[in-house]
Amino acid sequence: MNTRGPGCFEAVIGQGSRHVGRTLREIGFRGRYQAVVIGIHRAGQPVNQKLGEVRLRMGDTLFLLSDAGFKKRWSDRNMFLLISAAGEALEPRHHRPTGIFLIGGGVLASVATGLLPLVTAALVGALLVVAFRILTPVEARDAVDLDVVVAIASAFGLAAAMSESGLATTLASGLVNASQWAGDRGVLVGVMLAPSSSAR
Amino acid sequence: MITNNAAALLIFPIAIDAAAATGLDARGMVIAVAVSATTSFMTPIGYQTNTMVYGPGGYRFGDYARLGAPLTVMVIAVGATLIPTIWG
């Protein structure tokens, strides 16, 4: 991407953004992001207030004027859910979708048939994606979402702690007692309700 | 409010113990956890894609629950019907 010259961008405020509930002035937006907000859209309507005083909400779309490197600078951070250059609806991907479907299908098939262990298949698949230049090594590295990796790794520890301490057994028997009147299917429904109520 | 992956992992040991306590197949129980952890339809922040369409689509927070709740009930009903049949 050309990193010179001005560019127009749309940036959507994400849930993880520290800016939710703050105004552009409080954030010091211009200095921090080297970008000027020229408009804020909320639920498809432009916000008709002084822009510096609008309390940002999740899902707000900021229209920005910045240099062409803006997107590259900020798209990896969780400040913005997504950034697109104005007029660029979706980032065009030029790789051939058949390649990625074949690799993905191959990974699934080799694991499902027991040909390869999951980790081996996934690593081979990831290598093939880079080897066939569907992603560059840099893109592949950037595609790893560290937040999710850390959350899952920590959850493994918590899950082990729950088993060791007997908390899991206590919760499980509580769950079984609460839903047993509806039979085994009732317990199954209880188990399905548990993660959905926490992941929501 | 945690990621669905982490939620699945945290419920996993509970599901295993619940399977042992009832005599349900542990495999079916784990699949129930995996399926339900992915059904985040109820809020705009349940999953990234929910948030992406939140602003541009002009939705309200409650719209997600209004359509998401019946959808979640459907997923759970279908899961509770099919899972014991397949992994009995």
With contacts defined as CB-CB under 8 Å, which chain B residues touch A61?
55-56
3-state secondary structure string across chain B: CCCHHHHHHHHHHHHHHHHHHHCCCHHHHHHHHHHHHHCCCCCCCCCHHHHHHHHHHCCCHHHHHHHHHHHHHHHHHHHHHHHHHHCC
CA distance A154 to A172: 21
pLDDT the model gives residue A3 = 44
- Our CA-based measurement puts residue A112 at a distance from the nearest CA of chain B, in whole angstroms, of 15
With contacts defined as CB-CB under 8 Å, which chain B residues touch A172?
13-18, 20-21
CA distance A6 to A191: 53
ipTM above 0.90, yes or no: no
Average pLDDT over residues B66-88: 88
B13:A148 CB<8 A: no
DSSP A13-56: EPTT-TTTT--HHHHTHHHHHSEEEEEEEETTEE--S-GGGPPP
Dig out the tokens for A121 from the structure: 């298949």
Average pLDDT over chain B reads: 83
- Our CA-based measurement puts residue B42 at a distance from the nearest CA of chain A, in whole angstroms, of 6
B46:A159 CB<8 A: no
pLDDT at residue B40 greater than cutoff 70: yes
pLDDT at residue B83 greater than cutoff 70: yes
pLDDT the model gives residue A119 = 92
Q: Per-residue pLDDT tens for A121-160?
A: 999 999 999 998 888 888 888 888 787 788 778 888 888 8
Task: Specify the 3-state DSSP secondary structure of A83.
Answer: strand
CA distance A105 to A125: 10
Handedness of CA A178, A180, A184, A186 (dihedral sign): negative
CA distance B12 to A158: 11
Q: Which of B1, B3, B10 to mutate to test the interface with A (most CBs of A within 10 A)?
A: B10
- Our CA-based measurement puts residue B37 at a distance from the nearest CA of chain A, in whole angstroms, of 5
pLDDT the model gives residue A200 = 44
Percent of chain B with pLDDT over 70: 95
Average pLDDT over residues A11-16: 80
B10:A159 CB<8 A: yes
pTM above 0.80, yes or no: no
With contacts defined as CB-CB under 8 Å, which chain B residues touch A175?
14, 18
pLDDT the model gives residue A131 = 93
Closest CB to A185 among B44, B60, B80? B80
Confidence of residue A197 (pLDDT cuts 50, 70, 90): low
Q: Per-residue pLDDT tens for A63-81?
A: 888 887 787 778 777 778 8
A42:B83 CB<8 A: no
Interface A-B, measured as beta-carbon pairs within 8 A, has a size of 161
**B71 lies within 8 A of chain A by CB:** no
B72:A196 CB<8 A: yes
